[in-house]
Amino acid sequence: MTTSAKCAIAAALLGAAGEVAIMVSNPVEGLPPRAVVVMALFLAGPLLFLALLAWRRRSHPARSRLLLVVTLLVASSGLAVLGILNVIGPASAGNPVLLPLGQWVVVLAVWVYLVVAER
């Protein structure tokens, strides 16, 4: 296992935990607990999928480096956006689904790139 793969997996897991922690620390009034769980899974999903991708490509140095860079970008942008939204409050936060959707688009584009490159 390459060092990049280890770092990518660790960054993905820490980023997912951080995003969920920020989301849970700023509860929305009137939201049922089931919706909070679904939103937490949807929010952590892209980073957990990146951890899986890094694990699967752990013996390829170039792909591990790519996944490390993407993981750091997705995790840092997600934490930054959630931190800013946590400061301004949930009332002016807009649609809470846009951040995970944007992360999923980036992660799925990288996954498609990797699948095409491995052909």
CA distance 97 to 7: 27
Phi-psi region of 97 (alpha: psi -120 to 50; beta: other; left: phi over 0): alpha
Digitized pLDDT (tens) for each residue of the chain, 119 residues in all: 889 999 999 999 999 999 999 888 877 677 788 888 888 899 999 999 999 999 999 999 999 999 999 999 999 999 998 888 777 766 555 677 788 999 999 999 999 999 999 88
Read off the tokens for 39: 């939103």
Question: What is the three-class DSSP state of 53?
Answer: helix
Each domain of the chain, given as residue ranges in start order, spans: 3-118
φ and ψ of 102, to 5 deg: -60, -40
**Do residues 8 and 71 touch, judged by C-beta distance below 8 A?**
yes
The DSSP code for 60 is -
